[in-house]
Amino acid sequence: MSEQPSSRNELDGSVGGHVVQAGAIHGDVVLPASSALTPDEAELRRRSVQRELRRLDEEDAARERQETERRRRQERRQKELAEYLNVVRRKHRRYVILLVLTAATGVWVTVEADGMAGWAGACWLAIFTLLMSNLWWPRWKVLRDVKAGRAVQVPADRGTW
């Protein structure tokens, strides 16, 4: 034996006006057009609607403030990144010149110093390596990451730029 599919009517939330709950309706259902609200109920409903509209307006305003603040922070980060990259590019150019001069001086000292050629070359090689590892290499990595489209972390301390 097959069972009849069950039907179910539910009513949630606040309902303003007439409601009919029925499993099956045969024929016409006529609901009166006039509201059967008393003046007090009408006033309460009006206040409730106004309160809900104020709450929604406040939520919209808060959402707008958050979006504006988010945009401001993003613009500030982009401006700081641009400044950081300008400093890195400028220092990178400076350090490339310094490295070339150091290397040239190292070659000159090695060629000119007859008896101390081994020591002088080793000292200048050490200076060249220190300069390269501390000054040029970190800035080159930043510029390489920017060119490759990778994220670049801007140091908080401007002294380390």
Nearest CA to 143 among 88, 75, 83? 88
pLDDT at site 65? 96
* pLDDT in the model for residue 137: 74
Q: Which long-range contacts link 155-161 to residues 24+ away (Cβ below 8 Å)?
A: 155/84, 161/84, 161/87, 161/88, 161/91
* CB-based burial label for 103 (10 Å; 0-12, 13-18, 19+): middle
Spell out the SS3 assignment of 72-95. Answer: HHHHHHHHHHHHHHHHHHHHHHHH
Establish if 51 belongs to a structural domain.
Answer: yes
In the DSSP assignment, the letter for residue 158 is: G
Q: Do you know the residue count of the chain?
A: 161
Residue 53 lies in a domain: yes
Q: What is the mean pLDDT of each run of 10 residues along the chain (161 residues)?
A: 63 68 73 72 90 95 96 92 86 80 74 65 75 75 84 76 65
| Number of domains, the chain | 1
Evaluate whether residue 32 is within a structural domain: no
Predicted TM-score (pTM) of the model is 0.50
pLDDT score recorded for residue 40: 87
Assess if residue 99 is contained within a domain. Answer: yes
**pLDDT of 21:** 67
Domain holding 91, by residue range, is: 39-160
Eight-class DSSP state of 149: T
The full DSSP string for 99-112 is HHHHHHHHHHHHHH
Q: Is residue 102 part of a domain?
A: yes
Asked whether residue 89 is domain-assigned, the answer is yes
Q: Is residue 21 part of a domain?
A: no
Q: What is the pLDDT, as a whole number, of residue 118?
A: 67
Contacts for 151-154 with beta carbons within 8 Å, 24 or more apart? Answer: 152/81, 152/84, 152/85, 154/77, 154/80, 154/81, 154/84
